[in-house]
Amino acid sequence: MGVSRILVSGANGFVGRALCEELLQRGHAVTGLVRTPGGSVPGVEEWLHDSRDFADLDAAWPQGLAADCVVHLAARVHVMHDAAVDPLAAFRATNVEGALRVAAAAHRHGVRRMVFVSSIKALAETDGGRSLRETDTPAPEDAYGRSKLEAEQALLRFGEQSGLDVVIVRPPLVYGPNVRANFLSLMSAIARGVPLPLGAIGARRSMVYVGNLAHALAHCATDPRAAHGCFHVADGEDPTVAGLARALGRHLRKPARLLPVPASWLRAAGRLTGRTQQVDRLVSDLRVDTARLRETLDWQPPYSIDEGLAETAAWYRNTH
């Protein structure tokens, strides 16, 4: 499927910018579907469509815009303190109905493949003793994860009915320059010398550097062998929580101050503070099996986890 024209929703976001850079380097023509102008990497032609949950996308499709594949990154993302009255309904509106609108408009305008960027949270929050595989039974635990799973299922049904080739990619935590949320908070705490109760946490957590994710998404968008596939993507190294903090400290040039607090104590503190779920995730393994992506597409991550952490820490030092 000699893809040369790719439409990326959320092109000016954290992952979108990295993906567009990867695609442009490979010689593809890239159009970015964005809600606010600017912020896309040079060389991306922006399509500005500022509507809630991709309403009227079909009617607004620019005349002459042809694409072989759409990579759907735009989403309502997981947040720790959600202000929505009904979080699941809000997630569904964007992540399910919105994704279906993108798929329908793309199919109607001749797009042959849609790569849907889901989340490992659509499958599980912990690995239950072995790395999570694409064939495992999904058991999402929060509104974000449930909306991503529902989107996967709805898109697959649409693909079966319409003939659109739907490819699903499930990353775990994504990090890299411009990262936000919990990963940025962890770096900030380490850089400020804040003592962290993570020294005894041996839980292993898969992650993916944004450059590795972009590389994998480019493969999924352009490789005929990816057709109708579901793929887990990760760096291939699963650091412990304590090991991650120490590695970040080394690259931030500020040794992490880790207190050896037993996981049982953290769980007790979580129950007392109403944060049982957050603590359980912190002290539990979440490892991702990437064998299908590696074997089906001959994919290898171009960056090691240490290289990814070094780039992320260098960005933090230069900007904070």
pLDDT tens, residue by residue, 187-237:
999 999 999 999 999 999 999 999 999 999 999 999 999 999 999 999 999
144 is an active site residue: yes
Q: Is the pTM of this model over 0.85?
A: yes
HEC assignment per residue over 94-117? HHHHHHHHHHHHHHHCCCCEEEEE
Give, as one character, the DSSP assignment of residue 12.
T
Helix (H, G, I), strand (E, B) or coil at 90: helix
What's the CA gap between 181 and 150, in Å, rounded?
24
Looking up tokens 């993507």, which residue turns up?
233
In this predicted structure, the answer to whether residue 86 has a pLDDT above a threshold of 90 is no
User: Is-contact 287 128, C-beta < 8 A?
Assistant: no
pLDDT bracket for residue 4 (50, 70, 90) = confident
- 178: Cα separation from own chain's centroid: 14
Helix (H, G, I), strand (E, B) or coil at 152: helix
Percent helix, percent strand, percent coil in the chain, to nearest 5: 45, 15, 40
Q: What are the residue boundaries of the structural domains of the chain, listed by start?
A: 5-175+209-235+287-301
User: Once rounded to an integer, what is the mean pLDDT over residues 284-295?
Assistant: 97
- pLDDT 10s digits, 67-77: 999 999 988 88
Q: What integer best gives the mean pLDDT of the chain?
A: 94
- pLDDT 10s digits, 102-118: 999 999 999 999 999 99
Helix (H, G, I), strand (E, B) or coil at 145: helix
What's the CA gap between 8 and 24, in Å, rounded?
12
Task: Select which of 144, 175, 303, 316 is catalytic.
Answer: 144
Q: Which CATH architecture does the domain made up of 5-175+209-235+287-301 adopt?
A: 3-Layer(aba) Sandwich (3.40)
User: Is-contact 53 41, C-beta < 8 A?
Assistant: no
In this predicted structure, the answer to whether residue 79 has a pLDDT above a threshold of 90 is no
Q: Which two tokens stand for residue 258?
A: 């880790």
User: Is-contact 211 231, C-beta < 8 A?
Assistant: no
In this predicted structure, the answer to whether residue 85 has a pLDDT above a threshold of 80 is no
pLDDT of residue 252: 98
- pLDDT 10s digits, 250-286: 999 999 999 999 999 999 998 999 888 878 888 899 9
pLDDT of residue 82: 59
pLDDT of residue 81: 55
